[in-house]
Each structure stands twice: as C-alpha cells, then as structure tokens.
C-alpha cells in the first residue's frame, strides 16, 4: 500500500505543467496580438492610420472600404512633414470655405429669383384684381345709367299722360294713349334707268 502513494502524487504535477503551458501560450498569443495592432492599413492604397477615426475619415473621402490591422508602425513625422501637413490642412480649409461661399451665393441667387418671381406674381395678381374691380365698376355704372334712362322715360310718359288727361278733361275728348314711335320704313331700291339707245318705228 505504501508503494502506490508516489503514483498518486505525480498527477497534480502534470496538471500544473499543463496549466503553465496554457498560460505561456496565452501570454505569447496576447503579445503577438499586441504586436499586430500597431496600425490600421488601407489595402486599396496602402496608407497607414493610427486609429478608427482616421480610417473613417479616409473612407469617407476616398470611398475605400478594404482595411485591416497591420504590424507596420507609423513613423513619427519630421518637421518638414508636419509643416507640409499643416499647409495641406490650411489649403483644405480654404477650399472648403470657398465651396461654402459659392454654395451660399448660389442659394442667395435662387432665393432672389424666387423673390422676384413671387413679386411679379403678386403684381400680376394685384393688377388682375384691379382690372376685375374696374370692370365691375364700369358694369355697375352702365346698369345705373340704363336704369336712370328708363326712369326718365317713365316719368316723361307719365307727364305726357297727365297732360293728355287734363286736355281731355277740359275738351271732353277721349284720352289717347301715346303711340310707340314708328320706325321709318326702309327705302325701296330704285329700278335701274332704262337705256333708250334703240327706237322702234311702226310703219303703217
């Protein structure tokens, strides 16, 4: 029974070795992963980037979409490279400002066109309303003038009837209603004059 104890004690040693190997492998894998994450690379143009924001900016500007992690390390910029980057950024800012100003000019021109068009439409509408109102006034005046003429004619006829009634009252003659004015007959066309260039003589 005492000889079996060493065999039982060797099992924990093997388990400990396996765990140690796994820990070493995990640490090595972690080191390899850390080494691989030095930069992000655009596989379409080969440009390296430090982080996700730069990748997104590059993708939006160039429409590139194929990126991957790279073991290449981005070298620090020299003073000349920094100055060049600053110059490029200033040029980009100026270009963006110019594009924005041009866009604002176009939008202002479009607004002015719309304003002028709206103003012309308002003037045309106002003129049309004024013309319609003037036409209504002229039609109203014509109706009033015609009604005034008819009223005067009725008064004139009434005065004439009263005059005839007074004359009939004092002369004992029947009252004669005033006749409507007779339209003059249209003139008859005259016969064309006869031509007497020829004369017939009867000889007995």
Question: Does residue 107 fall inside a structural domain?
Answer: yes
Residue where a domain stops, chosen among 28, 54, 75: 75
Q: Give the global pTM.
A: 0.34
| Domain extent at residue 153 | 76-166
Q: How many domains are there within the chain?
A: 2
Question: Does residue 182 fall inside a structural domain?
Answer: no
Question: Does residue 104 fall inside a structural domain?
Answer: yes
Per DSSP, the chain holds a count of helices (H) and strands (E) of 3, 3
Q: For each of the chain's 204 residues, which pLDDT tens digit applies?
A: 444 444 444 444 445 555 555 655 555 555 554 556 788 899 999 888 888 888 988 898 889 999 998 888 887 778 887 888 888 889 989 999 999 999 999 999 999 999 888 888 899 999 999 999 999 999 999 999 999 999 999 999 999 999 898 888 887 655 555 555 555 555 565 555 555 555 555 554
Which 3 state secondary structure label does DSSP give 1?
coil
Same domain, 154 and 133: yes
Same domain, 70 and 82: no
* Of 67, 32, 31, 63, nearest in space to 47 by CA: 67
Same domain, 83 and 157: yes
Same domain, 121 and 64: no
What are the tokens at 8?
A: 């039982």
- For residue 181, CA distances in Å to 77, 144, 178, 184 come to 116, 24, 9, 9
């Amino acid at each position: 029974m005492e000889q079996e104890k060493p065999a039982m004690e060797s099992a924990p040693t093997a388990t400990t070795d396996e765990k140690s190997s796994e820990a070493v492998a995990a640490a090595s894998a972690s080191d390899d992963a850390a080494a691989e994450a030095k930069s992000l690379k655009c596989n379409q143009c080969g440009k390296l980037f430090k982080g996700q924001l730069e990748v997104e900016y590059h993708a939006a500007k160039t429409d590139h979409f194929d990126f991957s992690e790279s073991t290449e390390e981005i070298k620090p910029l020299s003073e000349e490279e920094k100055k060049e980057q600053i110059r490029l950024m200033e040029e980009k800012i100026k270009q963006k400002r110019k594009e924005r100003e041009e866009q604002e000019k176009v939008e202002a021109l479009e607004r002015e066109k719309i304003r002028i068009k709206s103003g012309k439409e308002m003037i045309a509408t106002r003129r049309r309303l004024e013309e319609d109102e003037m036409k209504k006034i002229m039609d109203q005046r014509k109706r009033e003038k015609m009604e005034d003429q008819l009223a005067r004619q009725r008064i004139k006829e009434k005065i004439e009837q009263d005059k005839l009634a007074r004359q009939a009252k004092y002369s004992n003659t029947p009252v004669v209603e005033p006749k409507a004015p007779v339209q003059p007959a249209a003139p008859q066309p005259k016969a064309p004059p006869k031509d007497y260039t020829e004369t017939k003589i009867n000889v007995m």
